Structures are given as C-alpha cells and as structure tokens.
Amino acid sequence: MKSFLVIGLGRFGASVAQELSALGQEVLALDIDAENVQNISDQVTQAIQGDAQDEAVLRSVGARNFDCCVVAVGADMEASILITVMLKELGARYIVAKAIAPIHARVLERVGADRVVLPEIEMGQRLAQRLARTNVVDYIGVSDDFSILEIHTPKSWIGHSLGELNVRARYLINVLAIRHGEGGRVNVSPAADQIIGPDDVLIVIGTNDNVNKVVEMN
C-alpha cells in the first residue's frame, strides 16, 4: 500500500482521491473549501481543510512523508506552481501536477513536478482518436513521438501468429498484450506462437507513424 496526498478536490482531484482509495491506497485529501472536504471525508483515509499555499499547512500534514503528492489545483495556475515549488523544497518524494495548458505544464516541470498531466487535452486526444478511426479502442500518448494504442485486429492478421507476422521487424511496433474478446482474458507479453483471433484486441506501442500505419491496415 502506498500513501498519497491529494491537494485540491475539484472534479479531477476528487476523482483521483476516490479511485486511489478504492484501490486500497492510503489517501489524505486536502482542500481549502470545507464543502469539498466534507463531500469526500467518508471516501478517503483522511480529509483536511486547509490552504495548501501556506507552507505551514504542507508541513503539518507531513507532505515529505507521502509516496506521492498530487497537485490537482490546475485551474489556478499561480497556486499550482507555488504549491509544487513548496512541495519540492519540503522534500516531497514524487509530485504529480495537473496543468490546464502546455505552457503551464512546462512551468510545472521546470519548478519540480515529476509528472504533469493535462486531463482535458489528453481526453480530447483520446476521443478524437476513437472517433476518427473506428478500429481504435483506446489511445495513450506516451510522448510527442510514441503512442500506445488499443486496436481491433487488422483482418489480414487474423489466423496468423505474431512470429509468422514478424510484427516487430516488419511493422516496427511491439505488441504489449492481447485481449481475447470484449472484456475477455488479457495475455500480457504474448509469445511468438500466439495465434491472433478475429475478436482479439491488440495493445501496441511504437512511433506515431508506425502505429498509424498498422491502424490504417485492413
């Protein structure tokens, strides 16, 4: 079990705190708004009202002792940057910060955030990928150059093994896992002799160009 400090209990922060708690993690939720704290108090390990822009508050909750601190106050750019700076100075082990724009994300990275997320942009990208290409089940942008896609099996691959298709050499992508049917068993790191079925969904990783070529196959 890991310990998390979630700062800011808007929709994003509350969702992160609730999900972490549901996964059996220790969660301390912190927000300046008493109503936000009350709404989540029975769903996390502990919920505290306090101003995270006050360094004394961060010290009092023991920010440096958590495995991860989540700064979810992205709507207030100045506040999220200040809180990230103070967490870094207090010795926080790992900081995840929410940003609302690419420039905001770059600043957060420069002041010490270990990971920055842009939920609205990322969700927009995922939705666009799924709407524009019907064989894309889900999309994760790993970086500007690489993506992980969950895709329906190209028809020309059905009935062939991964080794026979020589996916890595021929298509320059890696098949991370295969899900057999909707909601079916997931085969992680499938062997070369794994035969691909008509209902299989493939989780693949590669450069955007190479992944896109596979997505466009019939």
pLDDT in tens, 119-130: 765 665 555 655
List b or e across 125-151, with b for residues whose CB sees 16 or more CB atoms inside 10 angstroms: eeeebeeebebbbebebeeeeebbbbb
Q: What is the CA radius of gyration of the chain?
A: 21
CA distance 200 to 180: 5
Average pLDDT for residues 201-211, to the nearest whole number?
85
Range in 6-20, 40-54, 113-127 with the lowest mean pLDDT:
113-127
pLDDT at 212: 81
Select from 17, 10, 82 the least CA-distant residue to 45.
17
Q: What share of the chain is helix, strand, coil (3-state, %, to 5)?
A: 40, 25, 35
pLDDT band at 218 (very low <50, low <70, confident <90, very high): low
Check residue 61 and report its DSSP letter: T
pLDDT, tens digit (0-9, with 9 covering 90-100), for 120-175: 656 655 556 555 555 555 656 656 677 787 888 888 999 999 999 998 899 898 88
Q: What percent of the chain is predicted at pLDDT more than 90?
A: 52
Average pLDDT for residues 48-56, to the nearest whole number?
96
CA distance 187 to 71: 35
pLDDT, tens digit (0-9, with 9 covering 90-100), for 68-114: 999 999 678 899 999 999 999 999 999 999 998 889 989 999 999 99
Say whether pLDDT at 13 is over 70: yes
| Helical spans, DSSP H, in 41-134 | 55-60, 77-89, 102-110, 119-132
pLDDT at 202: 87
- For the sheet with 186-188, list strands across it: 136-141, 146-152, 200-207, 174-180, 186-188
